[in-house]
Structure 1
Amino acid sequence: MSPIPVTRSHGLEALELVSPDGARATLLLHGAHLVSWVPAGGEEQLYLSPTSAFATGQAIRGGVPVIFPQFNARGPLQKHGFARNKPWQLVSAEVGKDDALAVLRLTDDGATRMVWPHQFEAEISIRVSGRTLEMELACENRGEAPFSFAAALHTYLRLTSAMSASLQGLSGLAYWDSVDQRAGTQHEDLLRLDGSELDRIYQDLKDTLILRDADRRLRIAQQGFSDVVVWNPGEVKGAQFSDMPADGYRQMLCVEAAQVLQPVTLAPGESWAAMQVLALE
């Protein structure tokens, strides 16, 4: 094992994970935000907006934002909670014989307790090896009372062409449509983009999803997360974002491992962990 030094990326403190087989990932300490993943012998798999602000305390558009302890506006906190805007602490970062691994930690402080009065410790572990990326999010209740939270890995996947891309494996799943504010069931096995806004929370995902984009096939699996959020802002909403080009919606699809519809409740001393695994075929 050899340690990985802290460097800088986009003007912020970062870890450049490079496994011996050439797989690479860039992880910022700001928000524990993964901003790049290049599998061994492959190309960039994540979408990162070229107009995103990389500033302390601000959310980054693209990569993999960590959503905790609230999803979107489903609660009293700022949208998607505070974890993606906070500096995380480095626990470990090292290169092994066939992988590179980093672990970052976030604990409560005066600022978090003002808006969310709980003692917690969250950790994210990022591992790259070959053509696989593993992201594990964990949380422990360090306080004297139970608390509940939502969480997600808000993964922005890069697309060559949104209009020809499809996501396979959602057939039969119930979902909540956040655009139309109604429940539905997915009947087709392939989900395609048509340029309009797509924002659905699918529940009880059991199978692996496959993103097809030109000649690329990306397998998306999760463990411990019961929901998967599929989101694309579409042409109209995408044009309204100040931190994304007007045509950015054509180059991304969010497939987010999530725990939203049934938040996690932890008793004092209890912990929870869940994972999303991406593998380029």
Structure 2
Amino acid sequence: MSKPIPLSRHQGLDAIKLESPDGASATVLLHGGHVLSWVPAGGVEQFYVSPDSAFALGQPVRGGVPVIFPQFSARGPLQRHGFARSKPWQLVMAEQGADDALAVLRLTDDAATRMVWPHAFELELSLRVSGRSLQIELACENKGEQAFDFSTALHSYFAINDLDEASVQGLAGLHYWDAVAAVEKQQRVELLLPTGDLDRIYHQVKEPLLLREQGISTERRLQIQHQGFDDAVVWNPGAEKCAALADVPDADYRKFLCIEAATIEHPIRLQAGESWVGRQDLTLL
């Protein structure tokens, strides 16, 4: 029998901490629908959140899993990465089941969003945590009478011990937009070793990706699989750009790697009444 999970507070903001019976947990803020934490059963924290991040209404949080909607980066007239990550979301439900914990949050248009993006919409963010897995699902419905286009991403910051120990598998053969060099390229080798300023949008990602971290005596393998999203972003600011970020310590670029389920190259078009669903499944192997 399921039991409801009450609201709690995190850094002064309303939050839901999901805890499954097996000990797995995840924390999501109502501010931004922002996933802050994921600890698999028997494991450790998988997401990076900057110690210098602002936890303030109207401001995005640096780290975890921000929801990017309806614009990616500066690819359009809106503020960078859109407005969903800095808006208050509503809690629809949160409960612990027999073998998992679930939460659903909702964001709808209001007068402020319509001033910058004149469309009626409803977003639902659903989380399920159990065992060694976390599922994050984002759904969008066009509630208006006119079609609209949007781009979106689950901007996941994965915590790592050291950037030099990290690699990403599953990208071989894919074409990508290299935002640093401003040119389209192809991934030739199976293993991507993050170095320096890394900002890539990989297109038509069909197979699961694998984040590997190989230390002297430890190995971590995190499988990243998505459905409904066409692209995957791999991002790390490198030393120089990280030093220019006000909300990240200068050396912390070595402590995270972003691997994002996204749809950017070909924005999603929804006619009146239509819906779209995308999902990111994370599994610690």
Residue matched to 1:212: 212
Cα deviation per residue 1:42-65 (whole Å; 9 max; x = unaligned)? 000000001101000001100000
State the 1:235 CA deviation: 0.6
Could you tell me how far apart the structure 2 residues matched to 1:11 and 1:61 are?
16
**Could you tell me which of 228, 235, 239 is aligned with 1:235?**
239
Residue matched to 1:255: 259
Letter in 2 for 1:233: P
Residue matched to 1:226: 230
Residue matched to 1:178: 179
Cα deviation per residue 1:177-210 (whole Å; 9 max; x = unaligned)? 111100000001000022x100000000011111
Residues 1:244 and 2:248 aligned together: yes
Residues 1:99 and 2:64 aligned together: no
Residue matched to 1:202: 202
**Residues paired across the two proteins, number:** 280
**TM-score (ref. length: structure 2):** 0.98
Could you tell me how far apart the structure 1 residues matched to 2:9 and 2:72 are?
29
Could you tell me how far apart the structure 2 residues matched to 1:114 and 1:243 are?
28
Q: Secondary structure at the match of 2:250?
A: coil
Residue matched to 1:48: 49
State the 1:72 CA deviation: 0.3
Cα deviation per residue 1:154-184 (whole Å; 9 max; x = unaligned)? 0000011101210001000000011110000
Could you tell me how far apart the structure 1 residues matched to 2:102 and 2:82 are?
25
Q: Secondary structure at the match of 1:56?
A: coil
State the 1:129 CA deviation: 0.4
Q: Secondary structure at the match of 1:249?
A: helix
Letter in 1 for 2:105: L
Q: Secondary structure at the match of 1:248?
A: helix
Q: Secondary structure at the match of 1:75?
A: coil
Query: For 1:77-226, what aligned pairs fall within 5 Å after superposition?
Result: 77-194=78-195, 196-214=196-214, 215-226=219-230
Letter in 2 for 1:229: V
Cα deviation per residue 1:123-150 (whole Å; 9 max; x = unaligned)? 0001100000000000000000000000
Q: Secondary structure at the match of 1:84?
A: helix
**Could you tell me which of 267, 273, 277 is aligned with 2:271?**
267
Could you tell me how far apart the structure 2 residues matched to 1:177 and 1:12 are?
36
Letter in 1 for 2:242: G
Could you tell me how far apart the structure 2 residues matched to 1:39 and 1:15 are?
16
State the 1:11 CA deviation: 1.1
Q: Secondary structure at the match of 2:8?
A: strand
Q: Secondary structure at the match of 1:163?
A: helix
Q: State the identity as a percent.
A: 61
Q: Give the unaligned 5+ runs of structure 2.
A: none
Letter in 1 for 2:227: Q
Residue matched to 1:12: 13
Cα deviation per residue 1:5-49 (whole Å; 9 max; x = unaligned)? 001011100001000000001100000000000000000000000
Q: CA RMSD in A?
A: 0.5
Could you tell me how far apart the structure 1 residues matched to 2:258 and 2:11 are?
22
Residues 1:24 and 2:28 aligned together: no
Structure 1's consecutive aligned runs of 4 or more residues displaced over 2 angstroms after TM superposition are: none
Q: Secondary structure at the match of 2:181?
A: coil
Q: Secondary structure at the match of 1:111?
A: helix
Q: Secondary structure at the match of 1:118?
A: coil
**TM-score (ref. length: structure 1):** 0.99
